[in-house]
């Protein structure tokens, strides 16, 4: 950890810039490892660009693949992907802090600043304690899910393979990465309540964020939830239920998706796809068969994404709530956005608007660039681009067919989506200087 501080000090870089550099290094190392012959089955060695794509997808916990993950890679390749998913999901600074604490090292002030930025927190108070909890909670949840999944798969495959599948999928799904070793994602388990419930719980726990998870665990002692946790839990619940209801109604009679299922299967599949849109990337139905209206609705949910400080991407549910709250406040003629009897500062609204504007510009620009080089409909390209930005990993089958330029666009989208539009904006901007004066107020006509 002290070495990390010395590197940052010598380079004179800000915490956001340090995080961007750290993720870049992880992707570069992953690219080199995945491009080795030992990472792929004989005769199927990945080219440098494809290795870069897979490394970025793993480190950014997205799950988009240019090759079939279940059949293309060897055990070594799978382990490389899994390690990168864990590093990308929990954050390399969180892991570094854990190792430093384990070796009795002191966490410096600069390292705490980087941790604060990495975990998307407003304050440094308790940040080291939180990072320790993140590791403990994550490993506990992943271990429990691995055992439960292995018990289920032990009836279909040898015990050793079932245990390996359990470990791989628990880490991949909890970190909202979406990499699976089962051909066709989880379509074979559409009606399997056991698999559906476990994976949905993993997705939700990974997507609500570690702050909320910590609040929930401490609730029995504190008997209170922070405003952030209340907003995340209520918004996530509403989006999941609303998303499931819309998918159910739109796809009820579609013979390619929900049509052949019974009533219970339709409900289960609808809820699962809605949960997966939080940032997971797994599916229990063939999403290429969805109606275009449903695909566009899924684009909206993927764009919103998961919660801040989680393993998911998107503009984040809190940003979406602040935008909706601002609209309602303006329509009612009031001045302050109030959530759960708490007033939000103007800075929250400005940040929410900035994040959303930057995200829309990036996603639309990416889709437009893709449309000039890829021979697919704009809706499919927009779906793929949004999936990359939201680090969701759902695909309409375009990823393996992308040209070199298309892959580069998606790689950039995945990187920005994992870093966060706001963090990246801070990383690219020059040093902030406080203005010593204010301009006179002017008036323009709006609407």
Residue 336 CA to residue 320 CA, distance in Å, equals 16
Question: What's the confidence (pLDDT) of residue 290?
Answer: 94
Residues 409 and 368 sit within 8 Å (Cβ to Cβ):
no
Residue 211 confidence (pLDDT) above 50: yes
User: Of 190, 209, 149, 205, which Cα lies nearest the Cα of 284?
Assistant: 190
Question: What's the confidence (pLDDT) of residue 99?
Answer: 47
* Position with higher pLDDT, 233 vs 138: 233
Neighbouring-strand partners of residue 73: 40
Of the listed ranges 287-296, 336-345, 421-430, the one predicted with least confidence: 421-430
Residue 282 confidence (pLDDT) above 70: yes
* Position with higher pLDDT, 113 vs 235: 235
Residue 135 CA to residue 133 CA, distance in Å, equals 5
Place of tokens 């990036």: 362
User: Of 78, 38, 51, 247, which Cα lies nearest the Cα of 177?
Assistant: 78
Question: What's the confidence (pLDDT) of residue 103?
Answer: 47
Residue 438, exposed/middle/buried by CB under 10 A (0-12, 13-18, 19+)? exposed
Give the pLDDT band (50/70/90) at residue 76. Answer: very high
Residues 208 and 232 sit within 8 Å (Cβ to Cβ):
yes
- If you average pLDDT over residues 1-16, what whole number do you get? 53
Question: What's the confidence (pLDDT) of residue 31?
Answer: 95
* Position with higher pLDDT, 375 vs 90: 375
Backbone angles phi, psi at 217, to 5 degrees: -65, -35
Give the pLDDT band (50/70/90) at residue 7. Answer: very low
Question: What's the confidence (pLDDT) of residue 269?
Answer: 95
pLDDT per position as a tens digit, 330-352: 888 888 888 888 888 888 888 88
pLDDT per position as a tens digit, 117-139: 445 555 555 556 666 777 788 88
Residues 302 and 386 sit within 8 Å (Cβ to Cβ):
yes
Measured N-to-C along each axis, helices 346-373 and 421-428 cross at an angle, to the nearest 10 degrees, of 90
Question: What's the confidence (pLDDT) of residue 223?
Answer: 82
Residue 328 CA to residue 317 CA, distance in Å, equals 16
User: Of 119, 115, 130, which Cα lies nearest the Cα of 8?
Assistant: 115
User: Of 100, 63, 98, 112, which Cα lies nearest the Cα of 84?
Assistant: 63
CB atoms inside a 10 Å sphere around CB 45: 15
* Position with higher pLDDT, 301 vs 307: 301
Tokens found for residue 239? 């989006």
Question: What's the confidence (pLDDT) of residue 339?
Answer: 87
* Position with higher pLDDT, 438 vs 151: 151
Residue 94 confidence (pLDDT) above 80: no
| 379 Cβ contact list (under 8 Å, min separation 6) | 292, 295, 296
Share of the chain above pLDDT 70, in %: 81
Tokens found for residue 114? 């980087």
Question: What's the confidence (pLDDT) of residue 360?
Answer: 93
Residues 384 and 371 sit within 8 Å (Cβ to Cβ):
no
Hey, which bits of 382-434 come out as E strands?
A: none
CA dihedral (384, 118, 147, 184) in degrees, to 10, reads 10
Residue 10 confidence (pLDDT) above 60: no
| 90 Cβ contact list (under 8 Å, min separation 6) | 134, 135, 138, 175, 311
Based on its alpha-carbon atoms, the radius of gyration of the chain, rounded to whole angstroms, reads 22
Tokens found for residue 300? 């909206």
User: Of 281, 323, 294, 40, which Cα lies nearest the Cα of 176?
Assistant: 281
Residue 159 CA to residue 73 CA, distance in Å, equals 21
| 345 Cβ contact list (under 8 Å, min separation 6) | none
- If you average pLDDT over residues 12-17, what whole number do you get? 64
- If you average pLDDT over residues 396-407, what whole number do you get? 90
User: Of 41, 64, 13, 10, which Cα lies nearest the Cα of 415?
Assistant: 64
């Amino acid at each position: 950890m002290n070495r990390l501080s010395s590197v940052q000090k010598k380079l004179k870089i800000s915490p956001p810039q340090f995080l961007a550099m750290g993720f870049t290094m992880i992707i570069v190392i992953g690219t080199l490892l995945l491009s080795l012959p030992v990472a792929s089955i004989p005769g199927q060695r990945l080219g440098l660009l494809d290795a870069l794509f897979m490394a970025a997808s793993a480190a950014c916990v997205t799950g988009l693949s240019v090759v079939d993950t279940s059949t293309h890679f060897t055990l070594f390749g799978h382990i490389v992907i899994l390690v990168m998913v864990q590093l990308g999901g929990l954050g390399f600074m969180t892991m570094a802090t854990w190792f430093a604490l384990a070796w009795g090292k002191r966490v410096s002030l600069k390292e705490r600043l980087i941790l604060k930025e990495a975990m998307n927190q407003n304050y440094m108070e308790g940040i080291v304690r939180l990072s320790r909890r993140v590791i403990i909670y994550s490993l506990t949840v992943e271990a429990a899910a691995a055992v439960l999944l292995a018990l289920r798969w032990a009836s279909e495959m040898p015990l050793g393979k079932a245990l390996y599948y359990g470990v791989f999928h628990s880490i991949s799904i909890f970190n909202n990465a979406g990499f699976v070793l089962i051909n066709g994602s989880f379509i074979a388990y559409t009606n399997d309540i056991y698999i559906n419930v476990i994976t949905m719980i993993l997705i939700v726990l990974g997507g609500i964020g570690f702050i909320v998870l910590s609040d929930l665990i401490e609730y029995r002692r504190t008997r209170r939830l922070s405003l952030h946790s209340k907003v995340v839990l209520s918004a996530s619940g509403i989006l999941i239920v609303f998303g499931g209801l819309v998918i159910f109604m739109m796809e009820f009679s579609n013979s390619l998706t929900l049509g052949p299922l019974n009533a219970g299967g339709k409900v289960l599949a609808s809820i699962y796809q809605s949960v997966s849109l939080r940032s997971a990337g797994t599916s229990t139905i063939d999403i290429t068969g969805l109606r275009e209206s449903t695909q566009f609705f899924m684009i909206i949910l993927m764009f919103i994404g998961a919660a801040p400080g989680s393993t998911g991407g998107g503009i984040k549910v809190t940003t979406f709530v602040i935008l909706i709250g601002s609209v309602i406040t303006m329509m009612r003629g009031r001045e302050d956005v109030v959530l759960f009897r708490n007033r939000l500062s103007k800075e929250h609204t400005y940040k929410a608007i900035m994040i959303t504007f930057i995200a829309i510009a990036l996603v639309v620009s990416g889709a437009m660039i893709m449309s000039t080089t890829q021979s697919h409909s704009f809706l499919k390209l927009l779906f793929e681009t949004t999936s990359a930005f939201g680090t969701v990993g759902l695909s309409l089958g375009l990823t393996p067919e992308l040209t070199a330029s298309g892959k580069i666009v998606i790689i950039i989208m995945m990187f920005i989506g994992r870093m966060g539009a706001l963090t990246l904006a801070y990383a690219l901007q020059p040093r902030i200087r406080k203005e010593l004066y204010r301009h006179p107020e002017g008036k323009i006509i709006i609407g």
